Amino acid sequence: MAKRFRWFTPLMVGALVMAACTTTPTGGDGKTVTVIGTWTDAEQAAFLAMVAPWETETGNTVKYQGTRSINDILAAGVPTGVLPDLAGLPGPGQMAEYAAAGALQPLDDVLDVATYTSETSPALVDLGKVDGKTYGVFIKAALKGLIYYNPTLHDYSASAPATWDELISQGEANQGDAEALWCVGIESGDASGWPATDWIENILLRQSGPDVYNDWWAGKVPWTDPAIKAAFDLYADVIDNTYGGGTNAVATAFQTGGDALFDNPPGCALFQQANFMSGQGKFATLTAGTDFNAFPFPALNPDYANAVEGAGDLFGMFHATDAAKSLMKYLVTAEAQDIWVKAGGALSANKNATSYPDDFSKNAGAAVANAEQFVFDASDLMPSAMNAAFWSHMVSLTSGSETVDEALAALQVVAEDAYAE
């Protein structure tokens, strides 16, 4: 290095040190509320639109950061205390963990509890509680297990199949040129396999009911139980009737999983996914109701015909500043939730938020808010090691490298370890 550039080195060191010190999500001051969530792009814009009226009213500001690695940030932040004021929580399991660690603040004095409980689906209210205290609220909900179809090939809306047998017979009768009955796409990067776990959950819930379902994710029903095996067997049947077989299901991203519905000739006639699929892949470019539509997952056992599986984004508070409390209180109100659902793609857990952009979302929202038997996405409630193994073995099973019995035996081995603590 030339002599006259020697002064440059310490400068560079300084720049490096500075670069290392930027943007760690910490608590804001009295006027700013720091928020981290998983929403990016369009969802982030919808969230910011939702908090805008609150900002104007109170004069406070929201500093939002959208990230896909919320899990890692919170896992590192809870022991060190470097946490935002409000954050999306990965799931009820982690919420209980953070509450037990004393990081998460109870919300019973923050929310207008009477209004909140009267407006929100009881199952979702309960999922936000740890030892009777509310620590998390569902700021956004999702409805799982919708069966999508292309109404230009066959319109099921007049007489949607009520039972699985009807679904199969109607589906096969109206398959037309479609190469296979089903489309499945389970590739999702680090979370590959989750769409397949949704399949198992939707089947199990309607075959064996919410009690078995809830005992199963809680680790009280072994994976080798006949009830679980029956659900896996039915899923294996679906894969046998899938466009491109299990190999293609594993190779296809969930976002584009249903695109073959609209191919010419179509690859498949039916596709199972959650309500948020309407914003993914080809669905995002099409109009709900005319270009695509969906009917609810049909009953497998008449006793559980009204059971519904859903999921949602939990939200919790780490620093009980006045501004954070006020924002938290605002977020669950029907007024705020209305803005959220109007943007499309999101469902609200709040019954009084009804400004959905179309009937498709409106029906899905009503199904969540008024469900008689509502269960939460089981894989998200399992210990994280169990959840990861469930995803991973669904990939193996779908690709055909494991049989149902092999997958279940392997999952049981993981369960004995994962639920031990």
Contact 166, 159 (CB under 8 A): no
Q: Is 379 in the site for other proteins (CB under 8 A)?
A: no
- Alpha carbons 360 and 290: distance in angstroms, whole number: 10
Q: Which of 82, 103, 227, 410 binds other proteins (CB under 8 A)?
A: 410
Q: What mask of x and - would describe binding to other proteins in positions 40 to 79, judged by CB under 8 A? A: -------------------------------xx--x----
- Alpha carbons 307 and 297: distance in angstroms, whole number: 10
Q: Is 399 in the site for other proteins (CB under 8 A)?
A: yes
Residues 216-245 interacting with other proteins (rule: CB under 8 A): 243-245
404-418 and 384-399 helices, crossing angle to 10°: 170
Considering the complex, state which of residue 271 and residue 340 has its C-beta at the smaller distance from other proteins.
271
Angle value at C-alpha 299, between 159 and 290, nearest 5 degrees = 35
Q: Is 302 in the site for other proteins (CB under 8 A)?
A: no
Cβ neighbors of 49 (< 8 A, separation 6 or more) are 339, 343
Considering the complex, state which of residue 171 and residue 185 has its C-beta at the smaller distance from other proteins.
185
The amino acid present at 31, given as its one-letter code, is: K
Please count the residues of this chain forming the interface with other proteins, following the rule CB under 8 A: 37
Q: Is 163 in the site for other proteins (CB under 8 A)?
A: no
- Alpha carbons 90 and 111: distance in angstroms, whole number: 21
Contact 308, 143 (CB under 8 A): yes
Instruction: Provide the minimum distance between the beta carbon of 5 and other proteins in the complex, in angstroms, as a whole number.
Output: 14
Question: Helices in 59-105 by DSSP H: which ranges?
Answer: 70-80, 92-100
Contact 404, 229 (CB under 8 A): yes
Residues 348-377 interacting with other proteins (rule: CB under 8 A): none
Considering the complex, state which of residue 373 and residue 399 has its C-beta at the smaller distance from other proteins.
399
Instruction: Provide the minimum distance between the beta carbon of 133 and other proteins in the complex, in angstroms, as a whole number.
Output: 22
Contact 16, 8 (CB under 8 A): no
Q: Is 158 in the site for other proteins (CB under 8 A)?
A: no
- Alpha carbons 272 and 327: distance in angstroms, whole number: 36
Coil, helix or strand at residue 49? helix
Q: Is 251 in the site for other proteins (CB under 8 A)?
A: yes
Instruction: Provide the minimum distance between the beta carbon of 395 and other proteins in the complex, in angstroms, as a whole number.
Output: 4
Instruction: Provide the minimum distance between the beta carbon of 353 and other proteins in the complex, in angstroms, as a whole number.
Output: 33
Residues 3-22 interacting with other proteins (rule: CB under 8 A): 7, 10-11, 13-14, 17-18, 21
Instruction: Provide the minimum distance between the beta carbon of 157 and other proteins in the complex, in angstroms, as a whole number.
Output: 29
Q: Which two tokens stand for residue 105?
A: 């603040």
| Positions in the binding site for other proteins (CB under 8 A) | 7, 10-11, 13-14, 17-18, 21, 71-72, 75, 179, 189-193, 243-245, 247-248, 250-251, 267, 383-385, 388, 392, 395-396, 399, 401, 410, 413, 421
